[in-house]
Structure 1
């Protein structure tokens, strides 16, 4: 029996047979092409690229409505990369220069790009290296006419060095049901991790030396706790123990599902609002199954990414208006204005290259520099908000000057709509995202000039701790339960109470059970998360005595480390779980 640790991405306990995928890349022959056949070879390459694009488009169409739209955005990124003239030109030049077959040059050029991206410290580029691997394997697949067969994976736990997002989507679409995934690759915020969560697939990442292990016929994958692991060749007592744990885990899942239609109220009668984060489209049937109180974050950049040009005011109005009508005109919907820059790019707009894009022209900095784009969006939101509970917020706000400048543009938009006699919401509520330390420190000042706060804890954590959230080398430093982050959140919550402004959390903290305990202890009662997280958070809240939990606030804020915070909250979690059993 052997145990290997790793990072759990989606919780579960799976007992089953492993499928060991030792071979992760296609062997490619290298052979000479006669000079008079070079153009023919380039045409063969073009055909393979077009086939790859067609496959991705078909996959995207087939999965529409089955997978969250934002989770399918990776396929749009891959289509953009296949259209990148630099990448395709490099391959064509290589074929002409070396007079060898297309697949060998695709491999060579892609390896060069991969090596270049992997040398860059910014983890955004490391993710790009994986995307290059993904699309190049797809092109080569088409050149050598390999077919994917996934039947052997059905019901198995896939053990693999790394798995491409498009590959997981193809497995899902083929009807094959994986029981779980174990991989050496570590990227908690990578595309593949996001997809695994979306598909609710128990997944362990960062397992070391997986291919040096004797796997045997039976393994246990346990991602149900912080201490995630895989156990190979379990002995009888370990197997018996995990069969009991699996039953308990499944019972808890059923209990969570039973809570869906119940109000989100604590044991001592305090209502907690649970909203959802979405992209530019609604799967209303799926969302209604989660019974959210509102949309706490509507990310509009996905609307911009899914088009060939900046969407017009009218086009945006129709999208926002339809979402408002579908979701219900009474429930609140908070629309975030365009947030591009850093890792978010548009296929039709070339951002100015920056050494550190995370600290560059992004969020409101971009829209204030591009006033016409900003005005089109603001007018669309003003029009869609008429007669509905729609609000608007600005991302990446750093200074009060930005708030005042945006307010001036908002008033300009209202005046122009009024002069044209176009119906719009005159008293639109406007808030800001709290994502940077300056906004935290000045929260009491911001609160006097905006209607609400929405805290983006993903970015806020990385900026407070000066740690890139995509970094693998400094991964242990990125922790939203670090006392510095919690003290920052407490400042924001305090400012909200002082000026009677709502404070909501819309980062990953809102969907994590232990983190929710920390947030509630600070008096934050508005949470917005991905739709799949709502049932488990609702079930947790219905077990909490809020007054009792808030007695932990001082201990949490005076802690020296995130480990200490986590221990305090785990003790409380175990206490309330024990009381329910």
Structure 2
């Protein structure tokens, strides 16, 4: 055997190139290939098995009996060859018969050969065959011999695929070819189906044999330089701007990007005669094979990081750096990524994007906040999702349960489509009633508005049947920007929203950033607080950074010129905070008036009750506000001391608990006594049963997700408000063990539409 894998492989590749270029059919070429490999590797046996009709068939051999060709066939996982193909692993055995998977086939005449080494022939990450060598002498093969076999197998895969000798890469796989169910963390609810599309598409290596080795080496050097620049620049980007998980990923990326061993192995593969792309893929295949041998979960994760970088290097060297958003979605798509930023998400065609699946992701990430507003289901923490599915494969997404099915069979698809059809039927019924007023059977008119955060949401307001926008999240513009949005940019957005809403009211919430929505361009030591939701955020941040709030106030005032401006301040803890914020706005009105700018014809000021302490000061606050919004998402987690981003606590509190309903009833009664409208904002009001209970404690104004308008309206129109208020009063006086069940039973008995 020659001294180096590169020298051995280069000799074989030179011969392979000549074989591939010569005349003759595919079978005669494979016969010459096994003779060539056996000669150059001084091997007594060289055999090629290819996947056909679901079996691994002996296609060509040097050293075994020729009559066994096209006769010997092994199932996936059967024998040593079947094990290599099914598991995508390398076998290197001094005594083949001692391996538990060994299967003797007498027609081959292989009983006199003791040692065995085999590598998978892979195409598009799926096995299409096996390349094996054997010797009579019991011995393990040297690493250089195995590496030479892997290099040859890569080139063979191109030749075999071009000759169409196999079933196709999808028939036999490194992973199961049947349906695969995975569970993750529910980030945004909803059901969807579509084809898998990678946010960063994989590069298919088309040409493996290099014509000019030095030119290929220069391409790889250039790609490494560019990749290292990108990794160094990541520290400045929003997605990697904070400490913690992302910082650890970044450090791992840097470690691998500057790892001389990795770049040396790629160079050695080029020395063997491979193109730059094939060399990177060749080293990547070796990494995958090593991953199968590693039991340590941490080391496996690090290997995945290296694979991510390999894919990045491949995209750079091949000049295919665009994301799937830039190339455009052609079909209903389930997008797959490790992580995703909010700006990247907004680049996608909302008509085609049906769901997003992430290997990481968290309930409080910026992207999830935007996806929820877009109505796109998202599931995170799907370990190894990018290595469990191929581009174009069908995926069913159940965001309600945080699960997916990859490659569904007919029965699974039918059941899922039936559930989706029922859901769509309900949505159609709700849509039919969207233009009808939200009025109870006994004549109570309930205001149903929507929460929004994008200009497109305002444009679609008429389609929802909502009475207006009860909460416009102005921070979305800040979350998707790399720098602080200036007054002019904000002005354009607010003007666009008001114009799109036409004569329907829009309530702008001043920016709610900081804490769990930290921005890299507003970094501060408080951003790393242990409890960010209760930290330096929202109105607290805006009052301290008064220039930020002044710019937003001026943008809102000028955008509302000649119209009614409705503005509310988030996370008010005490009345003085509201007073300071209102005074700041009123100062900007005076500035605009003196500057001869157009000003609103009227301004309505409101506060958000999210911090429980504010309820104790409502007698002081209510005479000074035009309306109050009750933010049930934050209020609930503060009341129960239960972080809503912590999955283990998500089911520990219930919006229908007597504690919540009693608290809300007290607040609503106080607002009614002061003749101040109170609006319930958040997920609680968007659920029919919960909305029914809210009407029971006196609520008459809601602001919810657009998807909830139809179901909530249907519930309202089937409800007798006075009856539910009487029943809820009884239940709160003597709370049952299970309030949810009691309300559910009452709704069913009174034919209330709660879904």
Question: Which residues of 2 match residues 354-433 of structure 1 at below 5 A?
Answer: 354-355=528-529, 356-425=531-600, 427-433=602-608
Verify: 1:323 aligned to 2:497, yes or no. yes
Question: Which residues of 2 match residues 148-547 of structure 1 at below 5 A?
Answer: 251-328=425-502, 330-353=503-526, 354-355=528-529, 356-425=531-600, 427-547=602-722
- Cα-Cα RMSD: 5.5
2:509 and 2:595 map into 1 onto residues whose CA distance is 25
Cα distance, 1:546 vs structure 2: 1.2
**Cα deviation digits, residues 378-397 of structure 1 (max 9, x gap):** 12222223322320111110
Which residue in 1 is equivalent to 2:262? 100
If the length of structure 2 is used for normalisation, what is the TM-score? 0.54
1:570 and 1:207 map into 2 onto residues whose CA distance is 34
Cα distance, 1:294 vs structure 2: 0.9
1:251 and 1:276 map into 2 onto residues whose CA distance is 22
Cα distance, 1:528 vs structure 2: 0.8
2:590 and 2:194 map into 1 onto residues whose CA distance is 66
2:183 and 2:254 map into 1 onto residues whose CA distance is 44
Contact 1:48–1:139 (CA under 8 A) maintained in structure 2:
no
* Secondary structure of the corresponding residue to residue 428 of structure 1: strand
1:51 and 1:500 map into 2 onto residues whose CA distance is 55
**Cα deviation digits, residues 464-485 of structure 1 (max 9, x gap):** 1011000123222243223222
* Secondary structure of the corresponding residue to residue 603 of structure 2: coil
1:510 and 1:424 map into 2 onto residues whose CA distance is 34
Cα distance, 1:292 vs structure 2: 1.6
Contact 1:521–1:550 (CA under 8 A) maintained in structure 2:
yes
Cα distance, 1:441 vs structure 2: 2.5
Verify: 1:143 aligned to 2:317, yes or no. no
Contact 1:434–1:440 (CA under 8 A) maintained in structure 2:
yes
**Cα deviation digits, residues 161-180 of structure 1 (max 9, x gap):** x986689979x9699897x9
Tell me how many residue pairs correspond in the alignment.
508
**Cα deviation digits, residues 489-544 of structure 1 (max 9, x gap):** 11221111011111111111121112111111111111111222212222222111
Which residue in 2 is equivalent to 1:127? none
**Cα deviation digits, residues 382-435 of structure 1 (max 9, x gap):** 222332232011111001121222233223222222222222136411100100
* Secondary structure of the corresponding residue to residue 647 of structure 2: coil
Larger mean Cα displacement after TM superposition, 568-577 or 138-147 = 138-147
Q: Residues 141, 568 of structure 1: CA spacing in aligned structure 2 closer, same or farther, 3 A cutoff?
A: farther
Q: Residues 497, 133 of structure 1: CA spacing in aligned structure 2 closer, same or farther, 3 A cutoff?
A: farther
Larger mean Cα displacement after TM superposition, 37-46 or 316-325 = 37-46
1:18 and 1:282 map into 2 onto residues whose CA distance is 25
Contact 2:232–2:254 (CA under 8 A) maintained in structure 1:
no
Q: Residues 220, 364 of structure 1: CA spacing in aligned structure 2 closer, same or farther, 3 A cutoff?
A: closer
2:595 and 2:223 map into 1 onto residues whose CA distance is 58
Question: Which residues of 2 match residues 34-45 of structure 1 at below 5 A?
Answer: 42-45=224-227
**Cα deviation digits, residues 327-353 of structure 1 (max 9, x gap):** 11x321111111111111224221323
**Cα deviation digits, residues 90-110 of structure 1 (max 9, x gap):** 6445544664349999xx9xx
2:470 and 2:600 map into 1 onto residues whose CA distance is 19
Greater length-normalized contact order (CA 8 Å, ≥ 6 residues apart): 1
2:312 and 2:366 map into 1 onto residues whose CA distance is 23
1:542 and 1:423 map into 2 onto residues whose CA distance is 42
Which residue in 1 is equivalent to 2:68? none
* Secondary structure of the corresponding residue to residue 540 of structure 1: helix
Larger mean Cα displacement after TM superposition, 91-100 or 181-190 = 181-190
Q: Residues 229, 85 of structure 1: CA spacing in aligned structure 2 closer, same or farther, 3 A cutoff?
A: closer
Which residue in 1 is equivalent to 2:293? none
1:265 and 1:477 map into 2 onto residues whose CA distance is 33
Contact 1:468–1:478 (CA under 8 A) maintained in structure 2:
no
1:365 and 1:195 map into 2 onto residues whose CA distance is 23
Contact 1:320–1:381 (CA under 8 A) maintained in structure 2:
yes
Cα distance, 1:301 vs structure 2: 1.0
Which residue in 2 is equivalent to 1:215? none
* Secondary structure of the corresponding residue to residue 442 of structure 1: helix
Which residue in 2 is equivalent to 1:573? 747
2:376 and 2:490 map into 1 onto residues whose CA distance is 34
Cα distance, 1:144 vs structure 2: 4.5
1:344 and 1:406 map into 2 onto residues whose CA distance is 21
Larger Rg: 2
If the length of structure 1 is used for normalisation, what is the TM-score? 0.69
* Secondary structure of the corresponding residue to residue 455 of structure 2: coil
Q: Residues 401, 549 of structure 1: CA spacing in aligned structure 2 closer, same or farther, 3 A cutoff?
A: same
Contact 1:165–1:195 (CA under 8 A) maintained in structure 2:
no
Cα distance, 1:305 vs structure 2: 2.8
Contact 1:507–1:529 (CA under 8 A) maintained in structure 2:
yes
Q: Residues 550, 321 of structure 1: CA spacing in aligned structure 2 closer, same or farther, 3 A cutoff?
A: same
Question: Which residues of 2 match residues 53-72 of structure 1 at below 5 A?
Answer: none
1:186 and 1:340 map into 2 onto residues whose CA distance is 19
**Cα deviation digits, residues 25-45 of structure 1 (max 9, x gap):** 99xxxxxxxxx9997564152
2:370 and 2:551 map into 1 onto residues whose CA distance is 32
Cα distance, 1:322 vs structure 2: 2.3
Contact 2:563–2:601 (CA under 8 A) maintained in structure 1:
no
Q: Residues 268, 138 of structure 1: CA spacing in aligned structure 2 closer, same or farther, 3 A cutoff?
A: farther
**Cα deviation digits, residues 413-464 of structure 1 (max 9, x gap):** 2222222222213641110010011012223332122111111111001111
